[in-house]
Structure 1
Amino acid sequence: MSDLRKPLAVVTGASTGIGYELARCCAENGFDLVVAADEPRIEAAATEFRSLGASVDAVEADLATLDGVETLYAALNGRPIAALLANAGRGLGKSFLDQDLNEALDVVNTNVTGTLALVHKVGRDMLARNEGRILITGSIAGFIPGTFQAVYNGSKAFLDSFSDALRNELKDSEITVTCLMPGPTDTDFFERADLMDTSVGQAKKDDPSKVAKVGFDAMMKGEGDVVAGWKNKLETAVSKVLPHGLLAEQHRKMAEPGSGRG
């Protein structure tokens, strides 16, 4: 049970990568935690967060499903949530027509449907109290037509846009909405998405702990969009002026299968 003297944060996709580091930031900064992921490793992660002095509940649930979202929400037991860090996400490489449709739909259901359902539930509770912080992990990929990552980039474009709109809807409340937009980050994302034979899969990537700290700090300050890393900030700026066709061709060079060989 959470110590009622501490604020409670919910972090999804917290077993590895950016989500793990976001949860660590919360634990190190006085939050108790409910952490969730779709794999047993969430239990080991929870043990590590407890060593930082946080009370931690771990939930293994598939947040690509509404049942998984309900499982996580039920685990909150009506406790007030000070911060929701909606980070769970999934990627998928290769040409859309070569992908298994069920895998492509799983990307949409994890990144979009599950995120919307959880933000809707927790956000309503925050609105009833008129307080809370929401951090959504979008991506700079949302600004770029994702050749050979079409579904993933499209899902992140949705989240980037949704975050902006939700923030404006809540501007007269005490609820803040922050969108963390990382670039390529050194996690197991690329292996899971079958992108290891691509140029982006083989390239040097950002440190997830640094990316998470940028996002956490922005959330605590109530900031809106935040892009982690100067290279990613430059790429985002360039994406706003270049034609989409050119951006799609540039993305092809990074994500085309086999582009990372040789």
Structure 2
Amino acid sequence: MSFLKDRDVMLVTMHQKEKVIKPLLEEQLGCRLHVNQFDTDQFGTFTREIGRQDSQLETARKKANMVIQLSNLHVGIASEGTFGFHPLAPIPWNTELVLLKDYERNIELQGYYEGIDTNFNHTVVQNYSSALQFVNEVGFPDHHVILRPDDEHSSVILKNIADESSLQEAFTYCLNKSTNRQVFIETDMRAYANPTRMKNIEMATRKLIEQANSLCPKCETPGFRVVRKVPGRLCEQCHSPTKQIVRHIHACSTCHYQLTEYLDPDVYASPAYCDFCNP
């Protein structure tokens, strides 16, 4: 039985994330999820009016902590996303975290999902046809866009642009405000304005549910998870250790029990992954 069965929990969000989080948690974990539309923008905005001061994880924790201040409930849910580029290639990258804090039982669960499935992008244009071309490439109007005059540093920000008439109006306004006859356009990464991101939040929620159902073999606390991936699979040709993962270390954050999972220990790595055979 889920440790959240018949318990009341609260999600702190102002961007409609409950659309994907609420049905999954209620169905899979048996809880009753309430929503508080607290102004989470104070922790940072994607459009940079307010810079995020903490890491993704710490920001999610701060959001979850608001549940204690806003209600008499003891379980807080929060979501936090980051956007940037893949560490090894110049392609957009989205990391989503859905976090659960059970203050009554001192349990924290983290559901992460990351990948290249995002329309995160921006451009600078000088005419409306170029603006229209860009927004069509990023999935407009289902995915909203944000406009500013000049560049990304302008304090003039036009949001909630979700149809062509508002796009044309915003473009004309920004062009007239611009000092260099340029308009900066970026994708709106707020959850309700970005269906692709909302799907990634759903995937992170599913990862959270996996964590909730993963119990420590020793103390049965939820959240027994992989904390380290150990490389060292032997090369098929020269038998030298490679960077391919050979085992997972699972751990419990409550009793600190650890378990080592060997991943196909009798399988060798291809020489293509060997620094000696394929330097």
* TM-score, scaled relative to structure 2: 0.33
Bigger radius of gyration among the two: 2
Q: Larger helix proportion, structure 1 or 2?
A: 1
Greater RCO (CA < 8 Å, at least 6 residues apart): 1
